[in-house]
């Protein structure tokens, strides 16, 4: 099935998945970071305190995703979406209106939990579970919501802040999303609640965190988000150490957002055609080549290589990761499997700024950090090969030694 036919035949459900992922941009770091200065002034705290609180609420959000995400395996998707959107908009109001620090930080936590965490989880779970043999393409289309948000929302915020205050900008975005969700709620047939055996919700038989296969794949899935988070936060140090211009980073960052789109669409098509087991063995190759180019050539070429290579692989990772979760534990348990993966990514990206910062403070230059990432990439690739090879030989098998 081509993308055109998929959009024609399943446009309603694809619209739900895409809008969920796009709405999650309100909880992403790049979007909240656009309001960092007015937020710190509103809360009357320093930038360092804001960063500490932000990391804290991000880690708590990751923990809650781990416990709330599996409910999609038995809960009505429409009810789940209503609850998460209510939490998101309540968080926006608390964060922008409350004069008390604790309440405002609670609002920030709700925005992170419901935006980056549960809405993105909803979109990718529906795309991976409801489309059968076309799940790769469906996840690829849904994942376009992330780069589109980066490309559209960043200049939109800059323009809006010329005429509106930062609170009004948040409220306007929230109103636009409410309107879009109301249209979908009235015109689209939502999928039925998944059918699960009696007692399965309380005593699940699938526990990814106790499965050795999950831990063998996880480092490969974490490495790129951890590396890109460090690059985003310490881009000034990176450009200086690599001998690149700051303007080059700004242009390459936009290129990264554009590169994610063909990455997602190609990744989705290749997952459906070649299988996630085969693609999972090689999809990180563009980023590995980007790291090699950055380490050997340096300068502006290094920045472009990292951004374009990273963008391509970030786009491909969601179709690959979602399909691997289905191969390992079945689509009926995708909510539980994705919540474990999503929580792990939130934890890792919450800790990575501290790790990068400590290493830079110790005098380690950014080139050495990128070299370390390349070594870790090769190591995580080797660690994942056993599981991927086994899935390739016996894709129907889901039994594997479990961790005690």
Distance of CA 138 to the CA centre of its chain: 16
The reported pLDDT for the residue numbered 1 is: 56
CATH class of 208-391: mainly alpha
Let me know if 237 is exposed, middle or buried by CB neighbors in 10 A (0-12, 13-18, 19+).
Answer: middle
Spell out the domain ranges in the chain: 7-189, 208-391
Q: Which CATH number is correct for 7-189, 1.20.1280.50, 2.60.40.10, 3.50.30.10, 1.20.1250.20?
A: 1.20.1250.20
Contact 325, 334 (CB under 8 A): yes
Average pLDDT over residues 347-370: 80
Q: Which of 257, 251, 230 has the alpha carbon at shortest distance from 241?
A: 230
Torsion of CA 361, 365, 367, 372, to 10 degrees: -50
Let me know if 100 is exposed, middle or buried by CB neighbors in 10 A (0-12, 13-18, 19+).
Answer: exposed
Distance of CA 39 to the CA centre of its chain: 23
The reported pLDDT for the residue numbered 189 is: 79
Q: Which of 164, 165, 209 has the alpha carbon at shortest distance from 70?
A: 209
pLDDT in tens, 65-76: 888 888 888 888
Q: How far is CA 110 from CA 16, 115, 179, in A?
A: 21, 8, 20
Find tokens 């710190």 and name the residue: 40
Contact 342, 334 (CB under 8 A): no
Checking if the pLDDT of 34 tops 80, the result is no
The reported pLDDT for the residue numbered 266 is: 84
Beta-bridge partners for 129: none
Which of the residue ranges 133-147, 335-349, 383-397 would you say has the lowest mean pLDDT?
A: 383-397
Question: Distance between CA atoms of 225 and 237, rounded to whole angstroms?
Answer: 19
The reported pLDDT for the residue numbered 198 is: 46
pTM across the whole model: 0.80
CA atoms within 13 A on the CB side of 157: 20
pLDDT in tens, 238-282: 888 888 887 787 788 778 888 888 888 888 888 877 777 778 788
Q: What percent of the chain is predicted at pLDDT more than 70?
A: 92
- Which residues are CB-neighbours of 296 under 8 A, at least 6 positions away? none
Let me know if 80 is exposed, middle or buried by CB neighbors in 10 A (0-12, 13-18, 19+).
Answer: buried
């Amino acid at each position: 099935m081509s993308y055109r036919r998929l959009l024609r035949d399943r446009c309603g459900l694809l619209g739900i998945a895409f809008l969920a992922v796009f709405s999650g941009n309100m909880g992403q770091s790049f979007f909240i970071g656009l309001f960092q200065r007015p937020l710190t002034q509103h809360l009357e705290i320093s930038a360092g305190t804001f960063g500490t609180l932000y990391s804290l609420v991000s880690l708590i959000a990751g923990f809650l995703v781990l416990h709330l995400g599996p409910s999609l395996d038995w809960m009505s998707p429409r009810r789940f979406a209503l609850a998460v959107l209510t939490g998101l908009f309540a968080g926006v109001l608390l964060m922008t209106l409350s004069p008390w620090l604790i309440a405002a930080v609670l609002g920030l936590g709700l925005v992170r939990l419901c935006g980056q965490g549960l809405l993105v989880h909803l979109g990718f779970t529906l795309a991976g579970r409801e489309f059968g043999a076309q799940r790769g393409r469906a996840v690829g289309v849904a994942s376009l919501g992330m780069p589109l948000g980066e490309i559209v929302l960043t200049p939109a915020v800059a323009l809006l802040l010329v005429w509106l205050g930062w609170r009004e900008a948040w409220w306007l975005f929230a109103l636009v999303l409410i309107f879009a969700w109301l249209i979908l709620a009235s015109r689209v047939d939502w999928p039925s609640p998944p059918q699960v055996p009696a007692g399965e919700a309380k005593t699940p038989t699938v526990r990814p965190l106790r499965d050795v296969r999950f831990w063998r794949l996880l480092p490969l899935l974490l490495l790129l988000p951890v590396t890109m988070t460090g690059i985003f936060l310490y881009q000034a140090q990176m450009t200086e150490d690599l001998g690149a211009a700051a303007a080059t980073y700004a242009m390459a960052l936009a290129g990264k957002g554009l590169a994610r789109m063909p990455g997602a669409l190609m990744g989705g098509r290749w997952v459906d055609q070649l299988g996630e087991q085969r693609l999972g063995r090689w999809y990180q190759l563009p980023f590995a080549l980007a790291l090699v180019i950055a380490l050997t050539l340096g300068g502006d070429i290094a920045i472009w290589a990292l951004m374009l290579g990273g963008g391509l692989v970030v786009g491909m990772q969601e179709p690959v990761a979602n399909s691997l979760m289905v191969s390992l534990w079945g689509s009926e348990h995708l909510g539980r499997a994705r919540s474990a993966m999503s929580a792990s990514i939130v934890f890792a990206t919450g800790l990575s700024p501290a790790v990068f910062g400590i290493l830079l403070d110790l005098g380690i230059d950014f080139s050495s950090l990128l070299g370390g990432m390349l070594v870790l990439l090769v190591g995580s690739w080797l660690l994942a090969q056993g599981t991927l090879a086994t899935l390739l030989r016996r894709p129907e098998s889901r039994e594997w030694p479990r961790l005690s």
